[in-house]
Structure 1
Amino acid sequence: LLLVSGGWNPVAHLFSQAGGTLRYDEDLAALVPGVSRQKVRVAGAARGVFTLEGCLIDGAGERGPVPPGPGGTPYWLVPADDLGGHFVDLQRDVTAADVLRATGAGLRSVEHVKRYTTAGTAHDQGKTSGLLTSAVVAHALGVPVGEVGITSYRAPYTPVSFAALAGRDRGSLHDPVRVTALHEWHAEHGALFENVGQWRRPWYYPRAGESMEAAVLRECRAAREGVAAMDASTLGKIDVIGPDAGEFLDRLYTNLMSSLAVGSIRYGVMCRADGMVFDDGTVIRLAAGHFLVTTTTGNAAAVLDWMEEWLQTEWPSLRVHLTSVTEQWATVALVGPRSREVLASLAPELAVSAADFPFMTWREAEVAGIPARVCRISFSGELAYEINVTSWDGLRLWTAIMSDGRVTPYGTETMHVLRAEKGYPIVGQDTDGTVTPQDLGMSWVVSKKKPDFVGKRSHARADTSRPDRKQLVGLLPDDHGFLLPEGAHLVASAELPEPPVPMLGHVTSSYRSAALGRTFALALLKGGQSRHGERLYAPVGDAMVPVTVTSHVLYDPEGARRDG
């Protein structure tokens, strides 16, 4: 038989959380609210008014009897030779013997005793043991209970299950799943999906009996030879609005944005303070004080947080407001040499010739009868358009494009092949936090006119201009059909020396190309920009795979196909 009683105590936890102190009421033998540093009023049982079997017990007025111990006082401790079975905290298995051991060791503060014994640290936070612990400490020290006081209460007062604390972080709910406005169509048409950030993006669209390799090659051919479309809605989109919006973007991007004309678009790179690439995307000028910034899918939240940090902590005088509008816009990339024909049929009022609608500009138009913002942007190197409509109209736009009959849908795997053929890096795949724009062969994106931008000073360090830095290059395996594994290391010799083996770099992207008729890869290679034409080796299993270093731009290096 286990008997434990702590008497009747007000539920004063919320009062304590408000900064209130408790006092010991000798008549009630309970701790009741005392003084609070906040404006708090306590009523009812919380201030010591109890109703028990018809007997009113009120610390401020009429009261019933308190069960007496010897001499008419509360009976907190039953004398015994062995107090090791006299439990004070049922959840922590703390006994009176444990408490007396603590006071015997010289502890006087009930807070110290709590930490010595762990009494009151279980998930009821002293709900059943708080006063008992204080009373036993008072008995051991020979002082009134009120002088000892009580340990600090911490929420929650009512125990919370671990399942409730875990909440949605279980199974498929562990991370939020985000889908675009076009997701239903993709699923109905057999798309296989991959996770990009929190987004479910179409990976590729296999036809009956078609392997992934065959499907991706087919989609690539459609984009290079005809016309194809991709759901690009997941790209991060941030509205930058205010009189100082241009100045703000100038400070964050390596190139100049304030000089961008309304109606024009500019590619930009952001660096961290150490000069390393943080993110890239496009900046679209919609009005004098209104820019739309696009980011990589996985970095959208991080970029917004980065921008807000600089705006709020370093440059609060700038008159700029930032708003994430990623979910507000559905974006369809229309790609390929015949994309202009398809757009012209969907938007008959839009002048789509190269002269009327040049690269890196945008136009407002009705596309398939839907108000749209059409941008001449290409992440494939082909003639391409990015059509933006409200998310509500996204599915209608996509359905209209697909009903043309000439358009092939393509997914993220094909997107990666197309961009890699053109040497367009993916931040986080072809970069690893140690790569500058110059390492990527993009010195042109670093302005020499601007007095400053985040990371500019770091670009002047000797370390960032070392000739042996890892730089982006292309790799062509001798065996045109061999697909290098991503992450494979690169060495100088076909015979590995004794460890440690000097590693020259590693493969960042590797694909099979329909346009090139072979496999190829991108890599970060020490001094790579001066190694074009060199023969290196990639250890793959027990084999040493010979590769030739080349430019990272393997397809249409002149960029002639971009304008159709």
Structure 2
Amino acid sequence: AALVFGNNDAIYRTALYLLRAGADVKAVVDSRASADGDLRDAVGSAGVAVKQGCVVSGANGGKHLRSVDIYRREGAAVGAAVDVIQCDLLAVSGGHSPAVHLHAQSGGRPVFDEDKLCFVPGESVQAECSAGGSRGSFDLAECLDAGAAAGAESARLTGFEPAPQVKRRVESPRGAPAEALWLVPGRHPVGRGPKQFVDYQNDTSAADIHLAAREGYRSIEHVKRYTALGFGTDQGKIGNINGMAILADALGQGLGETGTTTFRPNYTPVTFGAIAARDVGPDLFDPVRKTAMHEWHAAHGVMFENVGQWKRPWYYPKSGESMRDAVNRECLATRNGVGILDASTLGKIDIVGPDAAEFLNRIYTNAWSKLGIGRCRYGLMLGEDGMVMDDGVTTRLGEDHYYMTTTTGGAAHVLSWMEQWLQTEWPHMKVYFTSVTDHWAVMSVAGPNSRKVVEQVCEGIDFSSESFPFMSMREGRAAGVAARVFRISFSGELAYEINVPANYGGRVWEAVMEAGAEFEITPYGTEAMHVLRAEKGFIIVGQDTDGSVTPHDLGMDWIVSKNKDFLGRRSLARSDCVRPNRKQFVGLLSKDGETMVPEGAQLVNAPQDATPVPMVGHVTSSYYSASLGHPIALALVKGGLGRMGGTVYACTLDGRRIECEITPPVFYDPDGGKMKQ
């Protein structure tokens, strides 16, 4: 059973269509007190009750509509109750709104037509012409005439002689004009009774719009953002005009004065699939980011892995090599000679401003004010909960200029985090951040022979240890390209990171490879990088940490300042953060010296405890070390820093328990002499 309600003759046409389709139309409710016409007469002749001067002021039901309440309309209010009609379908029409989108997108401004009760195209700015329904001509005869006239005018403007127009005879049904009804009156004031929804997709109600007006919003664009009016996929086609009129009434002004929101393409929603088309592939429209050296890597047979949308070289297998063979070769080449890694994907943020040092003091656990120009410092960044959030090396390029690096996957989050604190908590600080991750190509040259290689490629830089110490930066040229060279190491070896503008990355990479040929330079990927850093006990945030790890848990109390405040400091004093039995960062060695401990394996204290067994930690990283000749692992173990030399057992999926010794996490060159030589 259906009921049709509205303020224009379309309700009668809709009722006739429903009757023709076999529907049981209970009534047509017309808000106009008098609306004679052919369509109205046809509905009455079909035996459908017509209730004029009335409104539907209530809908009843649970999971579906059961009935509606009909009230007499008395201006902007309701009068006496008229009827309660049982139905399960309510069709509503508030009038027609021309599609003025193309006119508006071409620079034109729609104007409100008080007679047609809609916005119609105003004066054209570009070579554009609207006709028919898009210009507010809703009568068929008027539409046809307007379309023919517009076509003839367009032909003339483009240099053609239009054909003589044929007058079409169209008989339009006699009807009555629509009557303004932007908000159906209810039995209670707006906001005091049942919700009166305007935007059905975002549940924006008339009360929301009234609240926006009371809050001081006057522009429809501001009200749109305050209430989410028109934010759905229909882009306001259903409810925006009503919303504008409700705002106009609340502000005591005309609808024309209130105006419209901005009409943006596309008129019809376009799916992501249509945009991506055949390029969707297995990545499901996920952007693919490539470094400047990507083509070189691909040409040399690299296997890639996905890291934060980047295609990173994973390992470079030679003919007949397994992954383990390739990684072992790359690690040994770097430890004994020289290797090169594409490190371009690390997040890079340029920090400028007189308050830059103070800002870094607040977000890092260690101090930055006294860092010298041209010097680098490793830093830990904590969340407000005191847990390690990210890490990286930041370099002071000038008095008020710093260059921060972050983890590959954490770059966007770190930048957003810093902007959040700057804009919401410390807006008085004069400091500015710019993401420059894509601006720089970075190649890390590591190994005992790295200095000999970079000396051949770079000019204008003295690479002696006295002039270029560990954790410092120098500017010069690399293969003729302006470059920043950093002496920092994630491998534990003597290492240099050459930073050049990304467009020159491929050229400089090839120059380094050519210069390193006599030293049998070997490109290595992220897997070898992980092995090298694990041998040194260097953490990877997100792998060796899990959002519940503090600097103390990592054995890194040395990086936490006791003389300044920083984000997360107060949380470090919580009782839970200082209890002795927290999971702490340690190394693991299998007792037999041969068994690889699986990453993610849970650790227990005894080999044969009956299940369920209390877990005391888990393995965060595990690799075979070709340099040491045996497997190594890193783990988080409860009270681990106090259990050096103790034993734990790693549980495998097949039921085995691997006996492991707890060791310090640094397996290679504990005093760090190699990278400082």
Q: Which category of TM-score, normalised to the shorter sequence, fits these structures?
A: 0.7 to 0.9
Distance 1:125 1:349 in 2: 59
Does 2:625 correspond to 1:513? yes
Q: Per-residue displacement from partner, 1:373-416 (whole Å, max 9, x unpaired)?
A: 11110111111111111112211111011113121100000000
SS in 2 for 1:229: strand
Does 2:159 correspond to 1:54? no
2:397 corresponds in structure 1 to: 286
Q: Please point out which of 331, 338, 342 is paired with 2:442.
A: 331
Q: TM-score scaled by structure 2? A: 0.65
C-alpha root-mean-square deviation of aligned residues, in Å?
4.0
- In structure 2, the CA distance between the partners of 1:473 and 1:124, relative to structure 1 (3 Å rule), is closer
SS in 1 for 2:553: helix
Whether the 8 Å CA contact 2:382–2:568 is kept in 1: the answer is: yes
Q: Please point out which of 651, 658, 671 is paired with 1:539.
A: 651
2:311 corresponds in structure 1 to: 200
- The offset of 1:211, in angstroms, is 0.5
Does 2:177 correspond to 1:68? no
Q: Per-residue displacement from partner, 1:247-267 (whole Å, max 9, x unpaired)?
A: 111111000111100011111
Distance 2:237 2:357 in 1: 58
Distance 1:243 1:306 in 2: 20
366-375 or 401-410, larger mean C-alpha shift: 366-375
Whether the 8 Å CA contact 2:288–2:309 is kept in 1: the answer is: yes
Whether the 8 Å CA contact 1:66–1:74 is kept in 2: the answer is: no
Q: Per-residue displacement from partner, 1:45-75 (whole Å, max 9, x unpaired)?
A: 5563463343899xxxxxx998437xx6699
Aligned residues: 490
1:498 corresponds in structure 2 to: 611
Whether the 8 Å CA contact 1:124–1:156 is kept in 2: the answer is: no
Q: Per-residue displacement from partner, 1:517-547 (whole Å, max 9, x unpaired)?
A: 1001000111110111111111111211111
- In structure 2, the CA distance between the partners of 1:54 and 1:372, relative to structure 1 (3 Å rule), is closer
Distance 1:284 1:460 in 2: 30
Structure 1 gap ranges (5+): 35-41, 58-63, 76-106, 116-121, 132-151
SS in 1 for 2:417: helix
Does 2:668 correspond to 1:558? no
1:256-405 aligned within 5 A:
256-347=367-458, 349-403=460-514, 404-405=516-517
- The offset of 1:195, in angstroms, is 0.5
Does 2:553 correspond to 1:439? yes
2:54 corresponds in structure 1 to: none
Distance 2:546 2:633 in 1: 17
Distance 2:495 2:235 in 1: 62
SS in 2 for 1:52: helix
2:639 corresponds in structure 1 to: 527
SS in 2 for 1:439: coil
2:118 corresponds in structure 1 to: 32
Whether the 8 Å CA contact 2:486–2:497 is kept in 1: the answer is: yes
Whether the 8 Å CA contact 2:376–2:396 is kept in 1: the answer is: yes
SS in 2 for 1:434: coil
SS in 2 for 1:438: coil
Distance 1:163 1:193 in 2: 26
- The offset of 1:22, in angstroms, is 8.7
- In structure 2, the CA distance between the partners of 1:163 and 1:359, relative to structure 1 (3 Å rule), is closer
- In structure 2, the CA distance between the partners of 1:223 and 1:157, relative to structure 1 (3 Å rule), is closer
Whether the 8 Å CA contact 1:12–1:32 is kept in 2: the answer is: no
Does 2:457 correspond to 1:457? no
Distance 1:21 1:108 in 2: 33
Comparing both chains, which one has the higher relative contact order based on Cα–Cα distances under 8 Å and sequence gaps of 6 or more? Answer: 1
- In structure 2, the CA distance between the partners of 1:351 and 1:7, relative to structure 1 (3 Å rule), is closer
Whether the 8 Å CA contact 2:347–2:407 is kept in 1: the answer is: yes
Structure 2 gap ranges (5+): 1-15, 22-38, 40-92, 121-128, 149-168, 179-192, 202-231, 242-260
Q: Per-residue displacement from partner, 1:497-531 (whole Å, max 9, x unpaired)?
A: 232x2000000000000111100100011111011
Does 2:280 correspond to 1:170? yes
Distance 1:294 1:528 in 2: 30
- The offset of 1:364, in angstroms, is 1.3
1:409 corresponds in structure 2 to: 523
- In structure 2, the CA distance between the partners of 1:281 and 1:112, relative to structure 1 (3 Å rule), is closer
- In structure 2, the CA distance between the partners of 1:313 and 1:73, relative to structure 1 (3 Å rule), is closer
1:11 corresponds in structure 2 to: 98
Whether the 8 Å CA contact 2:100–2:135 is kept in 1: the answer is: no
SS in 2 for 1:308: helix
- The offset of 1:44, in angstroms, is 6.2
Distance 1:174 1:445 in 2: 41
Q: Per-residue displacement from partner, 1:467-517 (whole Å, max 9, x unpaired)?
A: 111110001012322211111000011013232x20000000000001111
Q: TM-score scaled by structure 1? A: 0.78
Distance 1:11 1:217 in 2: 70
2:183 corresponds in structure 1 to: none
1:420 corresponds in structure 2 to: 534
- The offset of 1:241, in angstroms, is 0.4
Distance 1:305 1:110 in 2: 38
- In structure 2, the CA distance between the partners of 1:111 and 1:320, relative to structure 1 (3 Å rule), is closer
